[in-house]
Amino acid sequence: MSKEINNSAYRQGVIKDLLRKLHEGQTVDEVKQQFADAFSGVSASEISAAEQALISDGMPVSEVQRLCDVHSAVFKGSIEEIHAPVDASQEPGHPAHTLRLENRALDALIDGRVRPVLKAYEAGTLTAAQLSEAVNALLPLDRHYLRKENLFFPYLEQHGITAPPKVMWGVDDEIRAMLKDTASLATAGDPAVIGRLTETLSRIEEMIFKEDNILLPMLLDTLTPEEWKKIADESDELGYTLIQTPVRWQPAVQEETAQPAKADGQAITLPTGFLAINELTALLNTLPVDITFVGKDDTVRYFSQGAERVFPRTKAIIRRKVANCHPPASVHIVEGIIADLKAGKKTHEDFWINMGGKLIYIRYYAVRDENGAYLGVLEVTQDIAPIQKITGEKRLVTD
């Protein structure tokens, strides 16, 4: 039996079977006992492989996502027993260290402020306004998740690890929705806020555990120093949660990479003129809209870098499958739009959403060559709230 237990394929099979039993309705306690009977330790990568196998076998991502917290409860003790701190995660400025630092700040905020305020509010010694202030202190958590989804996940996907990011992103979105709902209940002084906040804090803490003990070990086992450096270099653009901007991090040994030749003076000849590369880059970044181009192979090829982007973009998304750039809940909509544009059923599709006082207008266009061959999709995003306020006329020349 010991040979079987030490065999990774066997262990993955056992984990996969236990997760399926959870899906079929067995209780956490029943599965815990079966797990304990099989073996006492399991690695984060094996949990990841088991979840990926379930999805490959046809289990919807939403189902694995629904069971994600149960998986954590089943395997929590085992993971904690075998995962000692990793050296790289102790280097100030290293993205792994930064993620852990933010998680410790979140722990401190929850235990040192939010829970005591909630307890006092339940006892009637604090007002709804004071509770609302404590809840709002958690809202920067969104930046923590954005950095994870836009920088860490793309590199895992490049290494063939796709299921865990999809599942975790789905849970992130659930937590975002719960936190938003909790903030609204607190602002309204609704008594339901007590139960909702208690549940929300529990989900946040479960995600902290998964990041510390499943996501980070997986990243540290998988990513190269060059990839970590790229993540560190782009992290400032997305911002940090509850911590100061980290020190600049450099790998101990720089990997030699080919540097692209600068071609600022090289002209690109177009049918209606010519532009130097630096002129074209500046021109695209000056447009009053954000643009993103997805090639005919459904991978991201380019995005502009205007002064005020509506949605976060990092260079890590280049060559990333567009389906992986969207939350699991909206992937089917994006895939449907692209399918219609490819097939010629539509030439464009428009959406608009209210977000933080802005009216965001999102347009998708099919890009075709002069012969009608499909080249890809262009996404154009713009805040049109200021445009809607325009009235009357403003001429170049007044009478």
Give domain limits for the chain.
2-82, 87-238, 268-388
Q: Give 40's DSSP letter.
A: S
**What per-residue confidence (pLDDT) applies to 83?**
47
Which one is predicted more confidently, 130 or 273? 130
The least confident of 65-79, 99-113, 327-341 is 65-79
Which one is predicted more confidently, 12 or 296? 296
β-bridge mates for residue 363, sequence order: 350, 380
- Share the mean pLDDT of the chain: 85
For 293, the token pair is 């181009």
| CATH class of the structural domain 87-238 | mainly alpha
**What per-residue confidence (pLDDT) applies to 255?**
45
* Largest CA-CA distance found in the chain, in angstroms, rounded: 94
| CATH class of the structural domain 268-388 | alpha beta
Contact 130, 121 (CB under 8 A): yes
Asked whether residue 23 carries a pLDDT value surpassing 90, the answer given is: no
- Mean pLDDT of the 329-351 span: 92
Asked whether residue 340 carries a pLDDT value surpassing 70, the answer given is: yes
Q: Give 7's DSSP letter.
A: -
**What per-residue confidence (pLDDT) applies to 394?**
86
Which one is predicted more confidently, 43 or 242? 242
Counting beta carbons within 10 angstroms of the beta carbon of residue 358, is it exposed (0 to 12), middle (13 to 18) or buried (19 or more)? Answer: middle
- Mean pLDDT of the 354-360 span: 90
User: Using CA atoms, how far apart are residues 283 and 277, in angstroms rounded to an integer?
Assistant: 10
**Per-residue pLDDT band at 34 (split at 50, 70, 90):** confident
CA distances from 269 to 266, 276, 287 (A): 10, 9, 20
